[in-house]
A and B are shown apart, each in its own frame.
Chain A
Amino acid sequence: MTAFPLMRTKWSNEHVMTGLFKVLILYLVPNWFENPMMILLFMAVVCSGLLVDVIANLIRYKRPICGVSAAVTAGIIHIVALDVPLYGQIAGVATALIVGKHLFGGTGKNIFNPAVIGILGLRFFYNMDLAIMAPSYFILPAVVLSLAFVKYRPVAALSFMTGMTLALIMSESMSMMMVIEYGVVFWGCLVLTDPVTVSLDPRIGLIFGLILGFVPLYLFDSIIALLIGILALNAISYVYERYSTKGIVNRGLSFKNNRIKALSDELMLSDGLIEEQYLALDALEEPSTSEVLERVSKSGVVGLGGGGFPTYKKIETVLDSQVNQKHLIINGVECDPGLIHDKWLMRRRSEGISKGIGILKRLIDFDSLTLAVKDKSDLEFSNDILIHQVKDYYPVGSEKILIRELLDRDLGRSIPAEQGILVLNVQTVYAIYEAVYYNKASDTKYLTVADVTAGTGYVTKVKLGEKIKEVVESIYPNSIQVFVGGGLMQSRIADEEDVIERNTNFIAIGDKPRYKESPLCSKCGMCEVHCPSKLKVRRITELIDQGSIEQAKELGGLECMSCGSCSYVCPAGRNLSSRLAFVKGFNIL
């Protein structure tokens, strides 16, 4: 069974394209006031585009597919070729969609911008200027709204507009009207931002955007030069994206406004559990290294942040590590937007956590000791523990990202413990304290039980091996859909027989988000922009879908940390992280 984020972006490719189509209409409105018959002309062109697209998609997918991208292509062609007769425009749209899009395999698979191909085709039969628009201030709303699309390829769009503006300045014809007339913003924001055909790499966007904006206008004043230039950029982008192996942008996700909120400060206990039930019957106040390791091992303490790796082995590795400097990082970041129990533990069990840290300090002579948190207000820890408030983004709490944030070290594929860096979750430290001081078996754990629809949850203490269904029933009775996993960003539907495992951190009820698994990837690159491992997510998942697992591994598929960011942001509604988990040969949960 695959895991997935229990929430995802509200945006879809169809939303974006519909927005773009509306902006295109705004470009035409001034013309429609002058000549209302133009509305019929526009509708005829758009309908012809939709018809071609529907037929092609029915042949390819055997079912209707949203044709809004075809409407956008038709709209762009109509705006640029406004003086071309209707039959010419229809022929241009058909050429654009058949030659520019469907011959390459349909939406998202084309190398060249279909609208540019259609316009270039028309240019061979009809005369067209580089000045594509009638200078009118009524076009300004469309120009302003066009700027919203810069976000898809910001560097390419801004460079292109800069290049064209420079050309206008150097030819001493710079004015607002000229900017409108030459479609500086139109080309820059609506054509150069096409994610399917323009590379995400800002270097390509910067160089070719500038050249494309400047040269065709300044040297040739020719629309053919511009169109051929765009097609050349498309070809370069294709080759680059096809053969590059690493992403270059890494932007974390912010969940400041949509986190699970604690409904109560009280701890929920599953059946038969009593908090603090153990007594100091077998307490060790000053344990030796071997006593600590023995108790941690015998108690079965494992990484409770989700790793599930035996803690005594991790400590031993750091002890044996032959490095000059050793560091202890207590991870209380809890960056997943669904989790609330680490925050609760740090405020309600700070004494135990402090004693756990004390045990580790006596064990290893650390050069630094840091407690990493998202919010350090109300925390009560002794002064020798450095509390570091990290930037609030997801997945900053991931081990290697946290090391990068705190120690400014990129470990690559190295194991942190082998490098002398001991990273332990706060709950693991608390379990060490319980094991060493009270010889308590690590057979319970704190986790979050939430209602994702309401956005609220409870900190709950449960027994390992307890049935998930029973835990949920005691808090949210009669729930139909139950999820279990490491957090809101990586959960799966719970099975009837599922039990609390050591790596279970999150149980939730609510509705499963809609993953429509659209076949139409727009290559927007959001999956790559938000991948903390800088993977070429789109290319890797494409290879997985084709069954080329080995090639996917060669592209770094094994480096995926299963954070779920790619699935969260994908506007095509694809659960990409589950595909990557498949490459690793297992589902992470």
Chain B
Amino acid sequence: MNKVYRDFFNDKEVLFVGYSSRNKGFCNGIHEAFSKHGIKVYPLNTKKSGNHDVKVYGGYEELPNVPKTAYILLNKGNTNKAVQELLKQDVKRILVHNKSHIDASVLSQCETKGIEVTAGCPMMLFGGGIHKVHGFFAGVN
């Protein structure tokens, strides 16, 4: 699995799967970083609980359109479920926050369907300060 890279977001829109109120500060930070770089974010959380600063879609049917690029911020079990769901949609690129969160079998499913999967924190690309340092050491640019 490749590390995330800048051109991965060339579509200028991304589906953010797992936008959570429990992790509000971090999710907000990622949302802002994407937005500052001209990438339109569609936050998705099927539980749809909490008080959000942005519109969080409760399901794929609520989205005005499903972006071709998705970013998943979920734990291991839910990441695999989310990828399975994305396979049903017409998503072409998936970024998982942590490469250990996706099973090899799910990864090969994606490869079979021609879906590119990368791993990494988008803040390494679009954040500043310590995130840049993290990106430098992780070899993300």
Give the residue name and chain of the B residue nearest to A493 (CB).
Answer: B54
Residue from the list B32, B39, B51 in contact with A514, Cβ < 8 A: B32
Within 8 A of A (CB), among B36-81: 36, 38-40, 51-55, 64
Give the residue name and chain of the A residue nearest to B42 (CB).
Answer: A496
Give the residue name and chain of the B residue nearest to A516 (CB).
Answer: B25
Give the residue name and chain of the A residue nearest to B63 (CB).
Answer: A496
A515–B53 CB distance below 8 A: yes
Within 8 A of B (CB), among A554-589: 573, 575, 578-579, 582
B55–A493 CB distance below 8 A: yes
> With a CB–CB cut-off of 8 A, which chain A residues contact B28?
512, 514-517
Shortest A582–chain B CB gap in Å is 6
A437 contacts the other chain (Cβ, under 8 Å)?
no
> With a CB–CB cut-off of 8 A, which chain A residues contact B25?
515-518, 573
B53–A1 CB distance below 8 A: yes
> With a CB–CB cut-off of 8 A, which chain B residues contact A480?
35, 38-40
Residue from the list B35, B38, B40, B53 in contact with A492, Cβ < 8 A: B53
> With a CB–CB cut-off of 8 A, which chain B residues contact A517?
24-25, 28
Question: How many A residues face the partner with a CB closer than 8 A?
Answer: 22
B139 contacts the other chain (Cβ, under 8 Å)?
no
Shortest A499–chain B CB gap in Å is 14
Question: How many B residues face the partner with a CB closer than 8 A?
Answer: 17
**Chain A interface mostly:** loop
> With a CB–CB cut-off of 8 A, which chain B residues contact A579?
51
Shortest B75–chain A CB gap in Å is 13
Bound together, the chains give a CA A578 to CA B39 distance in angstroms of: 26
Shortest B49–chain A CB gap in Å is 12
Give the residue name and chain of the A residue nearest to B54 (CB).
Answer: A493
B53–A578 CB distance below 8 A: yes
* Interchain pairs with CB closer than 8 A, number: 47
Bound together, the chains give a CA A514 to CA B31 distance in angstroms of: 10
B53–A2 CB distance below 8 A: yes
A481 contacts the other chain (Cβ, under 8 Å)?
yes
Residue from the list B24, B31, B51 in contact with A582, Cβ < 8 A: B51
A1–B40 CB distance below 8 A: no
A542 contacts the other chain (Cβ, under 8 Å)?
no
A266 contacts the other chain (Cβ, under 8 Å)?
no
Within 8 A of B (CB), among A511-530: 511-512, 514-518
Residues A2 and B29 in contact in the complex (CB < 8 Å), given A480-B39, A481-B35, A517-B24? no
Bound together, the chains give a CA A180 to CA B81 distance in angstroms of: 65
> With a CB–CB cut-off of 8 A, which chain A residues contact B51?
2, 578-579, 582
B40–A493 CB distance below 8 A: no
Which among B29, B32, B36, B51 has the highest number of chain A CB atoms within 10 Å?
A: B51
B53–A4 CB distance below 8 A: yes
Bound together, the chains give a CA A582 to CA B52 distance in angstroms of: 11
B11-36: CB near A (< 8 Å → 1, else 0) gives: 00000000000001100110110011
Bound together, the chains give a CA A518 to CA B24 distance in angstroms of: 10
B35–A1 CB distance below 8 A: no
A244-276: CB near B (< 8 Å → 1, else 0) gives: 000000000000000000000000000000000
Shortest A142–chain B CB gap in Å is 29
A512–B32 CB distance below 8 A: yes
Give the residue name and chain of the B residue nearest to A495 (CB).
Answer: B55
Bound together, the chains give a CA A2 to CA B51 distance in angstroms of: 7
> With a CB–CB cut-off of 8 A, which chain A residues contact B64?
496-497
A514–B53 CB distance below 8 A: no
A493–B53 CB distance below 8 A: yes
Shortest B21–chain A CB gap in Å is 10
Q: List 11 A-B contacts (CB under 8 A).
A: A2-B53, A4-B53, A480-B35, A480-B38, A481-B35, A511-B35, A516-B28, A517-B24, A517-B25, A575-B53, A578-B51
A contact set with B: CB distance below 8 Å: 1-2, 4, 480-481, 492-493, 495-497, 511-512, 514-518, 573, 575, 578-579, 582
The 3 closest A-B pairs by CB, nearest first: A517-B25, A481-B35, A495-B55
Q: A2-B53, A480-B40, A514-B32 are in contact. List 19 more A-B contacts (CB 8 A).
A: A1-B52, A2-B51, A2-B52, A480-B38, A495-B55, A511-B35, A512-B28, A512-B32, A514-B29, A515-B25, A515-B28, A515-B53, A516-B25, A516-B29, A573-B25, A575-B53, A578-B51, A578-B53, A582-B51
